[in-house]
Structures are given as structure tokens and as C-alpha cells.
Structure 1
Amino acid sequence: MNPLCSRCDKVVYPTEKVNCLDKYWHKGCFSCEVCKMTLNMKNYKGFDKKPYCSQHYPKTSFTIVADTPENLRLKQQSKMQSQVLYKEEFEKSKGKGFSAVADTPEMQRVKKMQDQISNIKYHEEFEKSRMGGEGLPTDNFTSPGFQQPTHSPNFNYDPQPVRSAAAPPPPSSGGKCFRAVYDYAAADEDEVSFADGDLIVDVQQIDEGWMFGRVERTGMQGMLPSNYVQPI
């Protein structure tokens, strides 16, 4: 049985049938609801299961919510609930403190340098107060292997370990083998540069912060920081 046209309610035969928008139409009846322009499957636009041309297609718009007492009450309730949740999260995280900084060899070296400089400053201030402000030479309280920082309030110090000038380079044979765990660029002529993963041979310990060794990849030898390598 042939269906009826959604526009004219007459029988639609297969040769003139258009099946669209869950309905059946005559080809001539498949037209815009407003201007009655005949449409096809390529240029129609459906809205509420009715065909429209692009010119008369209903424009959707946002609905403005009336600022009624009920809406104001819901808005205030949502705001208060958000503040309660914020305070709960704040109280939970208040005792946790800041996230821990990764305890890398670089951070350990900087922390140690800061501790020793603080110790030097403490001794200087203690001696000045004991001697009535005259103070003693700061060389008496300088830790081995580190240079005395300047007394300028805006001084900057190099975070890398400072070598002791009195330590002579050890012989370059019979030492241990180490592997570099960080890249290092030589800062002085008697230092040696290396890359992460390089093999350091003939290593001799000079002090707590520095070693003497030879980079097997380049054949260069010199001073290197001990916290940039690890023993094999």
C-alpha cells in the first residue's frame, strides 16, 4: 500500500516519492514551510520534522533566565556550597605543607654550600659580638675546600663546589672508575668537561667535593666535581 503525502494527504506513488524527515512527500510538495520553495535532498534543512530553506530556517537563540527570587535563592545556595567545599579542601591540605623538592645531587650540593656559608656567618657575628665589634680574621673559620664569601649584602656565590687551592693534582693512574650521571662543562683550565654516561678512569679523590680523573671518551684529564659521577 502506498503512503500518503505529509503535505497534501494524497497517495504518493513510487515514481514521485520523497522519503525524508520520517515522512513521505510528493516531489512537488517537498517545499519550505515558509516560502513554499521546492526543495530537494541537498538544499533542505529540517527542523521539528519540517523542511525549510536556508533563508527561513528557524534561528535558535538562548533563553534568558529570569532573575526570579527562586533563581536568586538557588544561585546563593550554590555559591555557599562552593565556599564550604573550598574551606574543607583548604583545611585538609593545610597540614600537608608544600610538595617535597627532589633530593638530587645538585640540590644536596647547593644545600651543603648554603649550610657552610651560614655557619661561617654565624662564627663571624659571634666573634664580632664577643670582641666588641672588632672581630677576628674570617680565615680562621673558613671551612676546608670553600672560599670565603664576600661581605657585600648583595653578594652572589657560585653554587658549584670551590676547590681548595692547596690540593695538588694526584697522579693519573691507579685510580677508580666512575660513570658520569650529569653533563659538566669545565669552568677553569685545569678542569675537564664530560657528558652524561661518560666513563671516568684513573679517578683520585682530592677532597669532599672534587676529584681528579681522565675521560675515557676524549682522553682529557683534570679536575671534576664528585657529585656529578658515581662509582662503577
Structure 2
Amino acid sequence: MNPLCSRCDKVVYPTEKVNCLDKYWHKGCFSCEVCKMTLNMKNYKGFDKKPYCSQHYPKTSFTIVADTPENLRLKQQSKMQSQVLYKEEFEKSKGKGFSVVADTPEMQRVKKLQDQISNIKYHEEFEKSRMGGDGSPTDAFTSPGFQQPAHSPSYNYDPQPVRSAAAPPPPSSGGKCYRAVYDYAAADEDEVSFADGDLIVDVQQIDEGWMFGRVERTGKQGMLPSNYVQPI
């Protein structure tokens, strides 16, 4: 016995049967729950055992917890418990090999003075390393064994700008002109992708749900759903 279609409740024969989402459908009835665009096994998205297109697939949302007085009380209690635990750990760690020094203005002044002394010593050691024992510079470029490299010929490089000619658009076949009202990503090789607002030219109607046309922005042509565009 042949099953019934989940969309129209009519008998589905094997030649036109689509088995998906634990249900049976006619090929023409397997469409998006919102825009009724005809889908296939490659471009459908299932939610709650219902087919959707990528544009109208239900978006999941996060649950927001209300900031009620009870929640505020629990939050304050958790914060107090954390502070108590921190103080307990701090008291236990006292006297175990390290001490906490307060960052007072006096300690900041001493730290700054130590940094200045370290910087002066660094420059003194650096200058000593650059001078020899007799006070003469020890730069490798002034040593007797150093030879100035021979002068290499210079080359003038004058690159010329390269002009790339854009490929001419395919000739118009006298079809109708439409404008996209949704973004669409191609699911098969014979389909074409476009963005909201793109101009679709040379459009030819194929059946009730699909058309053939060329995207003027990209120059690519192929199959496209008819309910994603509107005539101009």
C-alpha cells in the first residue's frame, strides 16, 4: 500500500516519492514551510521534522534568566562565599615562603630609582664592550682585515602597469529582468548564487518554482528559485 504525502495527504507513488524526515512527500510537495520553495535532498534543512530552506531555517535563541530579587540574593551570597574562601586561603598562605609588600608611594619611588640605576649600568657595560682596552673602538668595520666591497652596477627597474581587460558580459537573449530579494547559495552545479539586491537578467521561466537567468554583477548564469526574486 502506497503511503500518503505529508503535505497534501494524497497517495505517493514510487516514481514521485521522497522519503525524508521520517515522512513521505511528493517531489513537488517537498518544499520550505515558509516560502514554499521546492527543495531537494541537497539544499533542505530539517527542523522539528519539517523542511526549510537556508534562508528561513529557524534560528535557535538563548534563554535569558530574569534578574529577579531571588536571583540577586543568590548572586550576592555566592560573591560573599567567594570572598570568605579567598581570605581563608590568604591567611593559610601567610608565612609559607613569601610575603606581600604593599605598593606604597615610597616603594614606587625605590623601584623607580632601582630601574634608573640598572639602566645606567647597562649603558656603561655596552660602551665598554664597544671600546678596546686602550679606549679605541673595536668595530669590525674599522679592523685592518676589513675590505670595502666592490661597487656593484645599479639597475634601473621601471615596471610598466599591466592593464587587464574585463571579460565582456554574455550577450542578452531577450529574457525578462528580475531583482533578488533574498541571498541564495547554489546547491547544485547547474544553479547560480546571488545576493539580495542583485540584478538578474535574461530570465526564462522553467517551471512554477525555478527559472534560468544570469547575475549581472558576477556574469554567471544558471538555475535559480523563482520566489527569491521579483520582476522589475
TM-score (norm 2): 0.38
Deviation at 1:99, TM superposition (A): 12
Are the counterparts in 2 of residues 163 and 209 from structure 1 also a CA contact under 8 Å? no
Are the counterparts in 2 of residues 212 and 224 from structure 1 also a CA contact under 8 Å? yes
RMSD in angstroms over aligned alpha carbons? Answer: 32.3
Segment of structure 1 superposing worse, 100-109 or 3-12: 100-109
CA distance in 1, matches of 2:227, 2:73: 63
Unaligned runs of 5+ in 2: none
Superimposed CA distance per residue, residues 119-139 of structure 1 (whole angstroms, 9 cap, x where no aligned partner): 999999999999999999999
Are the structure 2 counterparts of residues 196 and 141 from structure 1 closer, same or farther at C-alpha, using a change threshold of 3 Å? farther
Are the counterparts in 1 of residues 37 and 227 from structure 2 also a CA contact under 8 Å? no
Deviation at 1:12, TM superposition (A): 2.6
Are the structure 2 counterparts of residues 146 and 93 from structure 1 closer, same or farther at C-alpha, using a change threshold of 3 Å? farther
Computing the radius of gyration over CA atoms, which structure comes out larger, 1 or 2?
1
Segment of structure 1 superposing worse, 163-172 or 17-26: 163-172
Deviation at 1:64, TM superposition (A): 3.1
Deviation at 1:7, TM superposition (A): 1.6
Deviation at 1:33, TM superposition (A): 0.5
Deviation at 1:39, TM superposition (A): 0.6
Q: Partner of 2:210 in structure 1?
A: 210
Are the counterparts in 2 of residues 144 and 164 from structure 1 also a CA contact under 8 Å? no
Superimposed CA distance per residue, residues 82-110 of structure 1 (whole angstroms, 9 cap, x where no aligned partner): 22332333333334334999999999999
Are the structure 2 counterparts of residues 102 and 142 from structure 1 closer, same or farther at C-alpha, using a change threshold of 3 Å? farther
CA distance in 2, matches of 1:145, 1:31: 85
Deviation at 1:71, TM superposition (A): 1.8
Matches within 5 A, 1:1-232: 1-98=1-98
Identity over aligned pairs, percent: 96
Deviation at 1:72, TM superposition (A): 1.2
CA distance in 1, matches of 2:8, 2:126: 107
Q: The residue matched to 1:177 in structure 2 has which SS?
A: strand
Unaligned runs of 5+ in 1: none
Segment of structure 1 superposing worse, 58-67 or 33-42: 58-67
CA distance in 2, matches of 1:38, 1:175: 23
Are the counterparts in 1 of residues 203 and 213 from structure 2 also a CA contact under 8 Å? yes
Are the counterparts in 1 of residues 37 and 209 from structure 2 also a CA contact under 8 Å? no
Superimposed CA distance per residue, residues 200-225 of structure 1 (whole angstroms, 9 cap, x where no aligned partner): 99999999999999999999999999
Are the counterparts in 1 of residues 201 and 213 from structure 2 also a CA contact under 8 Å? yes
Segment of structure 1 superposing worse, 218-227 or 148-157: 218-227
Q: The residue matched to 1:138 in structure 2 has which SS?
A: coil
Aligned residues: 232
Deviation at 1:75, TM superposition (A): 1.6
CA distance in 2, matches of 1:27, 1:174: 31
CA distance in 2, matches of 1:206, 1:143: 86
Segment of structure 1 superposing worse, 37-46 or 180-189: 180-189
TM-score (norm 1): 0.38
Superimposed CA distance per residue, residues 50-71 of structure 1 (whole angstroms, 9 cap, x where no aligned partner): 1111221222333333221122
Are the counterparts in 2 of residues 6 and 23 from structure 1 also a CA contact under 8 Å? yes
